[in-house]
Amino acid sequence: MRMDCDVIKDLLPLYAEDMVSDKSRELIGTHLDECEECRKLYEMMSDPAPKAEFTKEPAESFQKYVKKSKRRLIWRVALVTAIIVAALFTVWQIAVGGIVAFLMLDSALAPIKVDTDVNNYSQYMGENAKSEYRNKWGMDESIFPSAITADMDVREYKMVYYNPWDAQYLSYLTVEYDDAAYAAELERLGSYTSTDYIGYYSVTGFSEDAPLLAMYADDYQGFVYAIDTPDAENTVTYVELIFCNYFMDLDYEEYMPAEYFPEGFDATMNNPYEKKMMSQH
């Protein structure tokens, strides 16, 4: 019995999977022997799909894949690291800028205390001074009079205190004495063991009109000294310029007459002496 080709085509998938009965297998096989069209269709269904050919050995391809992946990973890690470093640097800059801004603001807001009332002298000088004025970075203030007495004719007095973050002091006292008191004061100051001071903060000395009578100098903290007051008889001027960090934040020339400063004195920010000393540390 010859089966119809349409029926055979419907059964071919089952035949190819060996899912037909023995009788049906025999009939389909006979048909395929006789029908070229159905046989070609069966052969197409039976042949496995062509496999892709590798142009390279699998092991070699895998190694290259691993290397390529590793390179990508390294680049990604480097990129992420660069982003993190840049972010941290930005945060650091902001933090430092904030600190600097805070210090500058703190400095700008710190009050400058100026007192010209000689009746308050004991608050700033000597053993009975208020706590913030008592030590003054360990500088020796014994060149100044220990107290203001009735026989002292005070011509000038000023105390300037500024503490943005490190305390700074500028004081001067000008006293006229009678002949006997003047001679006694010159003797007291002459017996004081003065220290070296030339070269500190670019100081070269004192003018002939204001000869030095006594000096206590520190190469870091500044000066305490007494001079014969220019253009005045029997008169002594006592001065202290006390600070730290090799410069004064105070505009010191604004607070004291120029003739009372040592010649060459420069304690402005970034002064030559500061640069010299900082280069040695």
In angstroms, the CA 234 to CA 219 distance is 31
Burial profile 169-208: b = 16 or more Cβ within 10 angstroms, e = fewer: bbbbbbbbbeeebbeebbeebeebebbebeebbbbeebee
Q: How confident is the model over 25-57, as pLDDT tens digits?
A: 888 888 888 888 888 888 887 765 554 444 445
In angstroms, the CA 34 to CA 184 distance is 150
In the sheet that holds 168-176, the strands lie side by side as 112-115, 153-162, 168-176, 235-242, 222-228, 212-218
In angstroms, the CA 243 to CA 167 distance is 7
Q: Is the pLDDT of residue 156 over 60?
A: yes
Q: How confident is the model over 221-269, as pLDDT tens digits?
A: 999 999 999 999 999 999 999 999 999 999 999 999 999 999 999 999 9
Residue 142: how many other CB atoms lie within 10 Å = 14
Sequence-separated contacts (24+) of 144-149 with Cβ below 8 Å: 144/171, 144/173, 144/224, 144/226, 144/238, 144/240, 145/173, 145/175, 145/238, 147/121, 147/122, 148/118, 148/119, 148/121, 148/122
- The pLDDT confidence band at residue 98, using thresholds 50, 70 and 90, is low
Q: Is the pLDDT of residue 107 over 70?
A: no
Closest by alpha carbon to 197, among 218, 178, 180? 218
Greater confidence, 13 or 121?
121
Q: How confident is the model over 259-281, as pLDDT tens digits?
A: 999 999 999 999 999 999 999 87
Q: Supply the DSSP string of 222-249, one letter for each residue.
A: EEEEEEEPTT-TTEEEEEEEE-BTTB-S
Residue 161: the pLDDT is 97
One-letter amino acid for residue 9 of the chain: K
In angstroms, the CA 94 to CA 72 distance is 33
Q: What is the mean pLDDT of residues 68-84?
A: 75
What is the H or E stretch that residue 160 is in?
strand 153-162
Residue 68: the pLDDT is 62
